[in-house]
Amino acid sequence: MREVSFGQYYPSHSFVHKMDARVKILAVIAYIVAVFLVKPFYFLGFSACLAFVIIATAVAKIPFLKVLKSMKAIIFFIVLSAVLQLFFNSQGTPLWENGFITDAGLYNAIFIVLRITLIVLGASLLTLTTSPVEIADGIESLLYPLKFIKFPVHEFALIMSIALRFIPTLLDETDRIIKAQKARGADFESGNIFKRAKALIPVLIPLLISSFRRADELADAMDARCYSGSKNRTKYKKMKFSYRDLIGVIFTAGLIVGVVMLNGVLGVVV
């Protein structure tokens, strides 16, 4: 069996891991808002955000390198935005004579790189310290008030839960089908992009058919266990708000206040 590691959850028993997922989700949202609150070129604001991430990472007992690794996936995106700002910003004065890179372009590039980096670092801190199941439960609980405007919170949560449950199964199955077709001479690695896309048909069709079969069987199994929608349904799992969460809330609030103060009091640093 192949070990499927799904998501980037980093199991541990740290303070942050034990926090209520709802608080962590809200804290990350607040953190992202704080990052956006930093006015252009007030770089000290960013240092407050960075301090927040570093402290949280330390408390969560996650190797800092692990957090940085989450940048790998979007490094291309970051470089692209920086390049666009550098070369296509026509405002400001050129940095050297006849050069097309302006000071405003450079500031913008640095600013955007920092902004994206900080957002990704914060968000990955959530996924590193909270399992996908906890995140799903947290989202469900946070969405609960939407029930009163007839938003199908329960169904939404069930879809998330089933998706989480079946992703590893389907990954395994994909691997098996790819191998089976390879054994019949299928070639997924050579040829141009169209040829490669076409080569995937013998994988996608069996995968699709088997997914439908699984969905069918799962629906039967759920019916057989008396599933009849959210009506009269109770919930076993309860999320608990503890002193840790209170500390988390205070800490996050501190960040927002800090950023706002740095924005207003200190003025342009560069």
Partner 1 sequence: MPILKAENVSFSYDKKTEVLKDVSLEVKRGEYIAIIGHNGSGKSTLARLFNALIVPDFGKVYIDGLDTSIKDNQFKIRENVGVVFQNPDNQLVASIVVDDVAFGPENLGLSREEIGNRIDFALKAVGMESFRKASPERLSGGQKQRIAIAGVLALKPQILVLDESTSMLDPEGRREVLNVVKKLNKENGVTVIAITHYMEEVVDADRVIVVNDGEVAMSGTPEEIFKQKQTLKSYGLELPLASYIAEKLREKGVDIPQTILTEKQLSEALCKLKQKS
Partner 2 sequence: MQIKAEELKFVYGKGSSVSSHALNGVNLLVEEGEFYGIIGKTGSGKSTFIQHINGLLKVQKESGKIVVGEFDLTDKKCNFKNLRKKVGMVFQYPEYQLFAETVFDDVAFGIKNFMPETSSEHTTELVQQALELVGLDYDQIKDKSPFELSGGQKRRVAIAGVIVTKPEVLVLDEPVAGLDPKGKREFLTLLHSLNKSFVKTVIIVSHDMNVISENCTKVAVFKDGKVVLEGSPEQVYGGNDIIEVGLSKPVTQNLIDDLNKVGVKIDSGLSVESFTDSIARVFGGRK
Residue 169 is a binding residue for partner 1 (CB under 8 A): yes
Comparing CB distances to partner 1, the nearer of 187 and 223 is: 223
User: What residues are paired with 114 via a beta bridge?
Assistant: none
Residue 228 is a binding residue for partner 1 (CB under 8 A): yes
User: 99 to each of 85, 88, 90, 95, 111, how far by Cα in Å?
Assistant: 14, 12, 11, 7, 21
Phi/psi for 102 (5° steps) reads: -100, 165
Q: What is the DSSP string of 126-152?
A: HHHHS-HHHHHHHHHHHHGGGGGGT--
Residue 72 is a binding residue for partner 2 (CB under 8 A): no
- In angstroms, the CA 245 to CA 26 distance is 11
Comparing CB distances to partner 2, the nearer of 154 and 182 is: 182
222, interface contact from partner 2, partner 1, none, CB < 5-8 Å by kind: partner 1
Q: Are 153 and 140 in contact (CB under 8 A)?
A: yes
Residue 138 is a binding residue for partner 1 (CB under 8 A): no
Burial of 47 (0-12, 13-18, 19+ CB in 10 A): middle
Residues 148-177 that bind partner 2 (CB under 8 A): 176-177
Q: What is the DSSP string of 54-76?
A: HHHHHHTT--HHHHHHTTGGGHH
- In angstroms, the CA 78 to CA 120 distance is 11
Residue 132 is a binding residue for partner 1 (CB under 8 A): yes
- In angstroms, the CA 255 to CA 79 distance is 28
Q: How many residues does the chain have?
A: 270
Report in angstroms how near the CB of residue 59 gets to partner 2 at its nearest. Answer: 22
Residue 88 is a binding residue for partner 1 (CB under 8 A): no
Residue 234 is a binding residue for partner 1 (CB under 8 A): yes
Residue 186 is a binding residue for partner 2 (CB under 8 A): yes
Report in angstroms how near the CB of residue 6 gets to partner 2 at its nearest. Answer: 11
Report in angstroms how near the CB of residue 104 gets to partner 2 at its nearest. Answer: 44
Copy the structure tokens of residue 206: 């069996």
Residue count at the site for partner 1 (CB under 8 A)?
30
Report in angstroms how near the CB of residue 177 gets to partner 2 at its nearest. Answer: 6
Report in angstroms how near the CB of residue 162 gets to partner 2 at its nearest. Answer: 21
Report in angstroms how near the CB of residue 170 gets to partner 2 at its nearest. Answer: 13
Residue 210 is a binding residue for partner 2 (CB under 8 A): yes
Residue 65 is a binding residue for partner 2 (CB under 8 A): no
Q: Which residues bind partner 1 (CB under 8 A)?
A: 4, 132-133, 158, 161-162, 164-165, 168-169, 213-214, 217-218, 220-228, 232-238
